[in-house]
Amino acid sequence: MDILEMDALAQSAALEKGELSAAALMEATLDRIDVVNGKVNAIVSLRSRAENMALAWAADGAPRKGWLHGIPIAIKDLANAAGLPTSMGSPLFAGQVAQADDTFVARLCAAGALVIGKTNTPEFGLGSHTFNPVHGATRNPYDLTRSAGGSSGGAAAALACGMLSVADGSDMMGSLRNPAGWNNVYGMRPTWGTVPSQPEGDMFLHQLSTSGPMARSPADLAALLDTMTGADPRLPLNTHSAPTLAGINATPEGLRIGWLGDWGGAFAYEEGIAEVSLAALDRMGGLGHRIEPLAAPFDADRMWQSWTDLRSFAVAAGLGALVKDPARRDQLKPAALWEVERGLAMSAQQVQQASAIRSDWFRRATSLFDAWDVLVLPSAQLWPFDVDWTYPKEIAERAMDSYHRWMQVVIPAGLIGLPVVNVPAGFGPNGLPAGLQLIGKRGSDADLLRLAQQWHLTTSWPETRRPIL
């Protein structure tokens, strides 16, 4: 087998046994990047070949650090990796070199990962379509005229192309789930608080975004998640996460899986999205699980209002200073300006009301899991769209009233910090991939990964349908 088509855990085992050297793996990785990255533009700020080979030779001559020892990885360009630029896709920060690793990056390096560069992301991670004025657009490897999704689009495309075996992503509004679905790989938004954020700025109010793992198999997801998680005493809302890899092959039986469909008509779907989702669910039912449709359990308009207010509130906290500076304001994309201006204009009572709605939805969702083990929605409401679009303006003749309304399907889980695993769902007649969100109650990360593993062993979509470049 091509070593770049091996899962990360298989690469790790070969490295540990001496059947594979870090230098050989690095050389193959860089050769693959040379061949395909110019087509998809997934990896950016790549270290020189000499630098990366030096990292690999040093790993070969050093004691084994952990399961990632000698495995190349690229970090999403929203996080800091020491010695590499953190542009966040913005001209304001292009060329800004990180002096230290972010917490989860340091954990990956402590386990032996070799950081070779960064993966592309939209400007400040805003929008589920990876393009920015610094590095350009990331293209979908299954159709180079289409979007790879976002904001972890670079990571997902790199995985699909075999340039990486595992990758980090982050997810506020589907940024792990949508690109994983559109690139026929796995992505996990873990229970909020299990992967620590940076102990900087406000650490209480903005419970929306989280980092998480991406991979071509659920076992690799679990291994990377176990490395990224762990309580950080510097953070007040960080939570403990039990290991997930050890029980990954325990077969789940007779799960009650609720299909949320289009949320009672609230979510517009492009033709074929519901069909590929239902076909995947029918196959999942064949594994011995009970699949049943579930009526919309909460008012979608209230949820959307809560989400958009809390999101703008959070974005304004992060980017407000840039908007207030006339010299830098004009260099921000319209979506960033819109979010910040909404957030800055918001009253404390508006924020309180948004949080109250979120609390209502959390209570309702908690009661749903008394009857259901897993809830399911598509990972995106449409197929990968034209890479030259800013965002889709309509779905199934329904107008989208904001740059992110087309991703409304991801907010039921994201708003209340539930764990979600995207699993590949198959392909449409157009040859494009789709994904399913497997949603569980807080703390059910290991259970979701076991279901994803069962699905993977049955379908093997990442191996069955690789992109041809």
Q: Which residues are catalytic?
A: 76, 151, 175
Residue whose entry in the numeric block shows the structure tokens 């992505």: 187
CA atoms within 13 A on the CB side of 171: 35
Count other C-beta atoms under 10 Å from residue 384's C-beta: 26
Tell me the C-alpha distance between 86 and 75, whole Å.
Answer: 10
Strand partners, 118: 44, 75
Assess whether the previous peptide bond of 402 is cis (omega < 30° from 0). Answer: no
Comparing CA positions, the residue from 377, 182, 173 lying closest to residue 262 is 377
Residue whose entry in the numeric block shows the structure tokens 């201006």: 341
Q: Which residues contact 176 (CB under 8 A, 6 or more apart)?
A: 152, 169, 170, 187, 188, 189, 212, 214, 422
- What is the C-alpha end-to-end distance of the chain, expressed in Å? 18
Tell me the C-alpha distance between 295 and 277, whole Å.
Answer: 17
Tell me the C-alpha distance between 227 and 148, whole Å.
Answer: 26
Comparing CA positions, the residue from 262, 264, 259 lying closest to residue 285 is 259
Whether 423 and 186 have beta carbons less than 8 Å apart is answered as yes
For residue 90, CA distances in Å to 93, 99, 134 come to 6, 18, 6
